[in-house]
Structure 1
C-alpha cells in the first residue's frame, strides 16, 4: 500500500518559548532558545510503525520533508524531488528553507498515487494539505505542532503508527473531520480567533485520534463562573508560586485574582497575604524552570474536545518542568462537559514524565465537587 509522508521540519518550534506557533517566527523562536522538535517525533512514529510489520511504501518529499528520516528505517520509499532544499544557519541551528508551498506541492503530487497522506506538523500544515486534497484522499496527522486543534491528529506519534497499521488492515473507519486553525498573529496578541477551514476524511481508530477543539457552551456559563470564582478564592488563601496555564477557563481565574494575565499563554504568579502579583507574563519554558525551587503549583484546564491536560497548546510545561513538580501540585479545573468521555490525555514526548500522570487525577468540576478522571 502506498502512503504519503510529509514532514514539516519547523513545526512546533514556537511552543516551549511561548510563541504559540512557528509560522513566520522561526528566527525569533531560535533566538529564544527553540530547537526543532518535529524530526524526533516523526522518528518515534516510524520506529513504532516498524514493530507492526506493515507492508507499505512511502512517497515523500526531499531532504527534511521526509527523505532524511525515512533513510534511517527499512521502509521502501520514493522521493518526489521537486527542488533542492537549502539550509541556513541561525545562531548555530540549521534550518531548512521549506515553506507551505512545499507541503501543498507534495500533497498535490500524492493525490492520485496514495491511499492516505500522513503528515508531521500542526494545524497550519493540516490546513495546507486540506486546501489541496479536500476529501479526495484521507489524511492523518502526527502531532508535532503547538496547537493541533483539528480533528485529524492521532493522540501521539506512536498512536499515529497504530492507526496507520489498522488502516492497512482495513480496520480503521473513515470519518469526516474538521480542520481548524487560529490566526497566529492574533493568537500572539492574546486574541482567540479560531474557525473551521475545511472538512476532510481521516482514518479513525477509537481512542487513538483526537476530536477537534470545542467552544464553551452558552448554558455552561453560570456553572463556569461559579467554578472559577471558587478556585480563585482558594488560590488567594494559600501563599506560594503558581503557574497559571492557557485558555479561557484559566483566564477567568487570572482576572478574578486581580492580575492582567494572558489568555493563551502561561503566567507566573506569586500569592502572598491574600494578594496575587504577576511575576512573569506569557512565560516560556526557561522562565518556568527558574521558579522550580520554590515548589510551584500548576493550574490548568482540559482542552474541550481534545481531552488534553499537557501536550496541546501549553508546551511551556515541558518534560523538564513537569518532571520536577509533584502530581499533587497540579490543580485541574474543568466543567463536566469537558470530561464527559471519562478520560484526559498527557503527551509530553517523554515516556517517564507521561507515566507519572498515568492512573487517576482529581479535577475540580464545581465549587464543591472534584472528580477522579483517568489519565491515558
Structure 2
C-alpha cells in the first residue's frame, strides 16, 4: 500500500460498457453499435454496477477516492455515498477509449493503491495498453463479453476485495490475463478469445473470475445424452414456451430438435417451432408475457456463471417472472469438475434476486442424470 495510511482508490467507469447486451448486439465496441443500441432503447448499466461495488466501502474511514467526472465515475461515487476527488474531466459528452486511458493515468499519478474500473474486455484492453503491469487493477463486470481474468465475479465481489485491501488485510497479487474477442466474428457465432497481455490484480480467488475456456465442448456423447433428454422433455410439452440460452450445450439441444439456433443469442421455441430468434431483453418479455415459460441455460466453462455473461437478454424482470423452479441448467460433468469446487454464479444485475436464486441447484448432466451443485 502507499506509504500514506489512507487507502487510495481510483474509480473509472466506461459508461457504455455492456450497452449492446440486452438488445442482442453482442458487444458495445464502436460508436455505430452504441448509437444503434441507444436507438433500440438500451440502458447504460455500468455506472449502476460500479455503484453496487462501491457500496461495499461505505463507512470506511481510511479511504481516499479519486475519480473522473460525471458518468465516468463521480456519479457512481455519489450514489454510493462516497466522497471523491475528480482528477479528470472528459472534454466531450461521448467518451471513447482514450478518455478511459487518460482518466486512469490521472488517477495513477495520484499514487492510488488500486484502480477499480467498470467495463468489459475492451475496457480491460484499453487499460492494459495504457498501464501494463504498473498498476494493481480490478474490474467490475459490466460488459457483454468478459473473457479476461482481471474481473471480479460480480460487482459486489469487486467491492468486497477493495474493502479487504482498504482495511489493511493481507491481499497478495498475481498477473491475470487480458483477453478479448472480435465482435464481428462473435456476431456470426465464432468465439476466439485472443490473449493481449497481463495486468496485476488482487489474489482473492473466491471473488476473482477465472479466464473463460475457449472453443467448443468435445464431450460429444455426453452432449448427445443431454440433448436427447431435454429435447424429449420439450417435445412432450406443447403448452410451454422454452427460452433457449446461448452456448454449445444449448445448441446441441436445438440440433436435436432440428431447429435453427443462435449460438451466441437467446431464442424462444413454442409448440415445436421458433417464435423468437436472437431476441432482445424487451422482446423476450413481450413474447413470453402471460405464457407458461421455462428457461434452458448452461454455464460458462471455467467461470461457472449462469447469468450475466453474454446473456444479458435474460433480464432481472424476466428471471423474477420466470422463477427459479422454471430454470433448467444443463452442463457436462467435465465442465462442473473444471470449476474445482467453486460455486456456480448468478450475476443478474439485481443483488436481491441473486440472493434469492442462491443455494443448491439441479444440473442436468446426461440422460435422466442430474446432480445438485451449489450456486451463489
1:297 deviates by 1.0
Equivalent position SS for 1:283: coil
2:20–2:144 CA contact under 8 A, matched in 1: yes
Cross-structure match for 1:163? 161
> Would the aligned equivalents of 1:163 and 1:204 in 2 still touch at CA under 8 Å?
no
- In the aligned structure 2, how far is the partner of 1:72 from the partner of 1:358? 27
Partner of 2:289: 292
Q: What is the deviation of 1:216?
A: 5.6
Q: Where does residue 3 of structure 2 map in the other structure? A: none
The change in CA–CA distance for 1:255 and 1:219 in structure 2 (over 3 A counts) is closer
Task: Give, in angstroms, the shift of residue 70 of structure 1.
Answer: 2.7
- The answer to whether 1:38 aligns with 2:37 is no
Partner SS state of residue 159, structure 1 = helix
Q: Which residue of 2 aligns with 1:278?
A: 274
Q: Secondary structure at the match of 2:152?
A: coil
Q: How does 1:275-354 map to 2 (within 5 A)?
A: 276-290=272-286, 291-340=288-337, 341=341, 343-354=343-354
Alignment size in residue pairs? 361
Moved runs in structure 1, 4+ residues, more than 6 A?
none
2: CA distance, partners of 1:327 / 1:349? 16
CA contact (8 A) 1:149 1:306 kept: no
The 2-side partners of 1:268 and 1:70 are apart by 39
Report matched runs for 1:172-187 at 5 Å: 172-187=171-186
Q: Which residue of 2 is the match for residue 90 of structure 1?
A: none
Question: CA shift at 1:361, angstroms?
Answer: 1.1
For 1:326-366, what per-residue CA distance to the aligned partner results, in whole angstroms no more than 9, with x for missing partners?
Answer: 32221111111322325211121223322331221110112
In structure 1, how many angstroms separate the alpha carbons of the residues matched to 2:50 and 2:83?
Answer: 16
Change (3 A) 1:178 1:228: farther
Counterpart pick for 1:114 among 88, 102, 112: 112
Whether 2:85 is the aligned partner of 1:78: answer yes
Kindly state the Cα deviation for residue 159 of structure 1 after the two structures are TM-superposed: 1.4
Gaps of 5+ in 2: 1-6
TM-score by length of 1: 0.89
Quick check: which one's strand share is greater? 1
Partner of 2:241 in structure 1?
Answer: 241
Q: Flag the 1:225–1:354 CA change in 2: closer, same or farther, 3 A.
A: same
Shift of 1:106: 2.4
Q: Deviations over 1:253-294 (max 9, x none)?
A: 2122111111100001113xxxx2111110111121121311
Q: Alignment partner of 1:251: what SS?
A: helix
Q: Give the deviation of 1:72 after TM superposition.
A: 4.7
Superposed CA RMSD in Å reads 2.0
Gaps of 5+ in 1: 87-96
Structure 2 CA distance for aligned equivalents of residues 256 and 135 of structure 1: 47
